[in-house]
């Protein structure tokens, strides 16, 4: 929790031989990650951009750290900073910090009991002497606590923190949170070379049916490797080839893996490999049926017992033709996932079953290009 310095009070190494005279020195002025960009701009002699591609930019909120490079005793210039995450709030002000925990981050289950923000208990710490936050001074110095609480309200209003959103995992899903999405519609087309596409830029496949279709050229000797994968070893799915046969893998939080294999290998040549996932029932995290096809003919069937309802991964993305992060299938390495054939394109469709994969490949490609 950032309000309690979780992931916040970390050492930062600054290396600039031409600009910093001292070697191996320490600086203790308060700084924050938002100070990095202003620092780099000042060092490079580049003014802060007021517009980018015709779009007016908000002013940088950080403070350049260059004043401290050769001034270990210079008074800190970034002397106030608010924090807020999942309702956990905090404020740093000239050595003091006031914090309150609203909820425990790893207890974000949907439907968990919500606590009113007014019932949160604030704590007060003298950060100059107690950066481990071991001694709560809220009762000993209530006036300072009230001063910092007012400072939080001012900073939070200034930087659009309000209204505080008390939802938890629902905020990860745009459809539930009421947030615009980057990817819209019911279909996306991906091409060879696409890699590390963020999950937020891919049509959501959670809590619904979805389909994957790959137009591929299978080499002599059989196909091997990943055609498309989203997520990784701690949650996600992948359509791949294993010893010449199609395989769909669904990884549930890295705890359980559901594997569906085709009944037989696909012969050499150009083919369409397709996976259809039929979501069962209404609500979150339900299971479903997996069906594999070669050129429109059924090639295998399996089950996914339960699915991930909100997010596959905070760091992995979508890859075509290989997996550059952690592989979806446990026990594999990134090198194992490299596809040994040729991928023409991969289509992801969501919702009701889509039959466009039955269109002749040349006609389908013509249709795609006509939409460019």
Q: What is the pLDDT of residue 113?
A: 73
Question: Which two three-digit tokens encode residue 360?
Answer: 């002749």
Nearby residues of 344 by Cβ (< 8 Å), 6 or more positions away: 192, 215, 216, 217, 270, 361, 365
**Kindly report the CA angle at 171 between 170 and 174, in degrees rounded to 5?**
95
Q: What is the pLDDT of residue 183?
A: 85
Fold of 2-166: Arylsulfatase, C-terminal domain (3.30.1120)
**CA–CA distance, 107 with 115 (Å, rounded to integer):** 13
**CA–CA distance, 367 with 295 (Å, rounded to integer):** 19
Per-residue pLDDT of the chain (372 residues; tens, 9 = 90+): 777 877 767 888 999 999 999 999 999 999 999 999 999 999 999 999 999 999 999 999 999 999 999 999 999 999 999 999 889 999 999 999 999 999 887 665 555 677 899 999 999 999 888 888 999 999 999 999 999 999 999 999 999 999 998 877 677 777 777 777 788 899 999 999 999 999 989 999 999 999 999 999 999 999 999 999 999 999 999 999 999 999 999 999 999 999 999 999 999 999 999 999 999 988 889 999 999 999 999 999 999 999 998 889 989 999 999 999 999 999 999 999 999 999 999 999 998 754 444 555 555 455 445 544
Strand partners, 320: 228
Q: Do β-strands 317-320 and 225-232 pair in parallel, antiparallel, or remain unpaired?
A: antiparallel
Q: How far is CA 108 from the centre of its chain?
A: 16
Where are the domains positioned within the chain? 2-166, 187-370
Fold of 187-370: Jelly Rolls (2.60.120)
Phi, psi of 110, deg, nearest 5: -60, 140
Q: One fold for both 2-166 and 187-370?
A: no
Q: Is residue 167 exposed (0-12), middle (13-18) or buried (19+ Cβ within 10 Å)?
A: middle
Nearby residues of 287 by Cβ (< 8 Å), 6 or more positions away: 280, 303, 304, 305, 306, 307
């Amino acid at each position: 929790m950032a309000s309690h310095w979780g992931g916040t009070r970390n050492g930062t190494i600054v290396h600039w031989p031409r600009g910093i005279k001292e070697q191996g020195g320490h600086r203790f002025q308060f700084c924050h990650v938002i100070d990095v960009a202003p620092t780099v701009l000042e060092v490079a002699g580049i003014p802060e951009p007021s517009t980018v591609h015709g779009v007016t930019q908000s002013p940088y909120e950080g403070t350049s750290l260059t004043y401290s490079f050769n001034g270990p005793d210079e008074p800190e210039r970034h002397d106030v900073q608010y924090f807020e995450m999942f309702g956990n709030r905090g404020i740093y002000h000239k050595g003091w910090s006031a914090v309150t925990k609203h909820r425990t981050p790893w207890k974000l289950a949907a439907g968990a009991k919500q606590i009113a923000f007014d019932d949160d208990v604030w704590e007060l710490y003298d950060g100059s002497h107690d950066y481990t936050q071991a001694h709560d001074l809220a009762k000993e110095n209530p006036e300072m606590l009230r001063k910092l609480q007012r400072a939080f309200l001012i900073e939070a209003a200034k930087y659009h923190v309000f209204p505080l959103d008390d939802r938890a995992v629902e905020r990860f899903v745009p459809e539930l949170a009421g947030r615009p999405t980057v990817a819209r519609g019911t279909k996306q087309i991906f091409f060879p070379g696409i890699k590390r596409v963020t999950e937020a830029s891919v049509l959501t496949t959670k809590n619904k049916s979805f389909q994957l279709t790959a137009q591929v050229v299978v080499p002599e000797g059989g196909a091997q490797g990943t055609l498309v994968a989203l997520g990784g070893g701690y949650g996600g799915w992948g359509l791949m080839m294993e010893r010449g046969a199609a395989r769909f893998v669904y990884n549930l939080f890295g705890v359980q893996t559901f594997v569906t294999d085709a009944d037989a290998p696909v012969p050499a040549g150009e083919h369409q490999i397709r996976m259809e996932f039929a979501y069962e029932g209404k609500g979150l995290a339900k299971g479903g049926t997996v069906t594999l096809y070669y050129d429109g003919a059924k090639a295998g069937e399996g089950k996914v017992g339960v699915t991930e309802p909100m997010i596959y991964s905070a760091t992995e993305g979508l890859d075509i033709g290989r997996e550059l992060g952690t592989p979806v299938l446990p026990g594999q390495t990134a090198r194992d996932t490299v596809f040994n054939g040729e991928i023409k394109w991969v289509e992801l469709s969501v919702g009701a079953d889509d039959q466009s994969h039955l269109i002749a490949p040349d006609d389908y490609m013509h249709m795609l290009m006509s939409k460019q």
